[in-house]
Amino acid sequence: MRNIWSLYLYFCYSYCFLYMYFMPLHKLYIFSLKLHEFVEKFILMESRRANLVEGGRHLPGSYRLLVSIVLLSVFQGAYAIDMHFAASDGSGSVGIWDHDDVDDEIEVSGTSSASFNGGVSMTDSKSLSGSGDANINQVMFGSGGGADYVINYALETFGASTIEGSGSSSLTPVAGSASRSVSTTGTTLMTSELSGTQGGDFAAVWSHGKLADVSTSQSVATGQSVTASQNMNAEGYNYAAAEGYAKDAEGNYVVIYAISQLGTLDTSQGVETTNSAAGHQKTVTNGCVAYAFCKAYNPDQNYYAYLGNIIGGVVGPAYLDFEGSASVGASEARAYQRSYAEGDDIWPWARSRGKLEQRVWTGTKLSESWAWTNDTDDGAVIVEL
């Protein structure tokens, strides 16, 4: 068993290294974090070590956005069109920056409209269809109303047999919302990432597939809070993954994550942040490997709640029906999951600041886990149902 996993990891690393070599740098960085985390879990699974390594090293939201924008500006395609449209009524401003680098076989159509009645506002819609490579980045903003925000969208596909996408945005100086839907088939690689940041709060959702057919609908909204959500379903000949990430202005963050290898992934995820961060997901995966987790972390207090379930199906299929949530604030961090799993290796685990609970089963299992921690208590519990 140990040799099988070692061999698997070897191929995984080798293949992904070549793959990363051809990726744009900003995607490479983000993906490298995912890869690191992904492989880390396999190492953990293989060794059954008790001391789980803290996974999911993420950039703080604002830096992540900044790095993304800067790198997009520096490494944007050699053949690309940038469009800028901004409007102001003297007291507030809204705008959109659109960067398109698409193959000839892809049709792109968009409409933006700026209105000045009752204050400035802007709406935007866009669609694309065809086949081939597409690299589209959009930055939308609102400012001047006392709650400046930025919404960022990035879509990247390589070698899609078909791609269909649409999206719309609504912007005012104090609040913005955007939704994007994209479906790709036969793509070598696709990534669709939508995020929003406002007043130090950051929320993002991310859909990713390699050698996969992916369909995802994402949305983000800023205003009283920053929220992001997505519904993704994918069939991966290599793998498909989805993530939600939210971080508040104090640095508290949650990560919601699911991945399927050589199988299907159907997930609904949502994250939100105001003075705290929270996220949830409902995920069904069926493949060679199925994995989902929820994590909450308060770096100032070192409050930590982290749990997940990873299913290996080397001999048979790996199936996971996972519903989980995580939340973190100034006083505590919490995570919860309830899942049904089928596979050769069923490994749920839960970890708080001071405790780790884990089980290993084979066959089918319905389990429930909690992890929580605050300044007076912490705990991690797994219940076999």
Partner 1 sequence: MNRYQTFTTALLLAGLISGASAASYTFGVDNVSDGSSFWISRQSANMSFDLSGSVEGEISPIAVTPAGRVLSPYHSGMADIDINDVRLRERTGALEGTYSSEELISLKSNTDEDVTLTSFKPAGSDIWTFTLAENWPVTLNASKTVDYLGTMINDRDRAGNSGDAVGSSFLYNTELSRERNVALKLDRLNATIIATDDTIVSTDVFATRSTVYDTASHSTGIADLRYRQTDSKGEVTNFGDEWYSGTYDITRRVEMELVYDNDTDEADWLSCCVAGCSDLDPCDYPTGEFGIFDCVCS
Residues in contact with partner 1 by the rule CB under 8 A? 76-90, 95, 98, 100-102, 104-117, 120, 129-130
Task: Give whichever of 113 and 224 is closer to partner 1, judged by the CB atom.
Answer: 113
Report CA torsion sign: 66, 69, 73, 74. positive
Nearest Cα residue to 156 out of 51, 80, 57, 88: 80
Nearest distance in Å: CB 157, partner 1: 15
Interatomic CA distance for residues 265 and 285, integer angstroms? 4
Our CB check for partner 1 shows the closer of 130 and 299 to be 130
Question: What's the closest the beta carbon of residue 133 comes to partner 1, in angstroms?
Answer: 13
Instruction: Give me the phi and psi of 28, to 5 degrees please.
Output: -60, -40
Which amino acid appears at position 43 of this protein? I
3-state secondary structure of 6: helix
Name the minimum Å distance from CB 300 to partner 1: 41
Q: What is the closest distance, in whole angstroms, from the C-beta atom of residue 88 to partner 1 in the complex?
A: 5
**What dihedral do alpha carbons 63, 69, 70, 76 form, nearest 10°?**
150
What residues have CB less than 8 Å from 147, skipping those under 6 apart? 173, 174, 175, 198, 199, 222, 223
DSSP code string of 214-262: EEEEEEEEESSSEEEEEEEEEEEEEEEEEEEEEE-TTS-EEEEEEEEES
Q: How far is the CB of 154 from partner 1 (least distance, A)?
A: 16
Nearer to partner 1, 62 or 166 (CB): 166
Q: Is the Cβ–Cβ distance between 122 and 171 less than 8 Å?
A: yes
**Is 110 within 8 Å of 127 (Cβ atoms)?**
yes
Instruction: For residues 80 and 179, give the distance between their C-alpha atoms in angstroms, rounded to a whole number.
Output: 23
State in angstroms the smallest separation of the CB of 171 from partner 1.
13
Nearer to partner 1, 89 or 368 (CB): 89
Q: Which is nearer to partner 1, 48 or 84 (CB)?
A: 84
**Smallest distance from the beta carbon of 177 to partner 1, in angstroms?**
18
Tokens 């290796």, residue located:
345
Nearest distance from C-beta of residue 82 to partner 1, angstroms: 4
For residues 379 and 337, the answer to whether their CB atoms sit within 8 Å is no
Q: How far is the CB of 113 from partner 1 (least distance, A)?
A: 5
In sequence order, which ranges of the chain are alpha helices (DSSP H)? 2-21, 25-47, 61-75
The nearer residue to partner 1, 63 or 116, going by C-beta atoms, is 116
Q: Distance between CA atoms of 341 and 361, rounded to whole angstroms?
A: 10
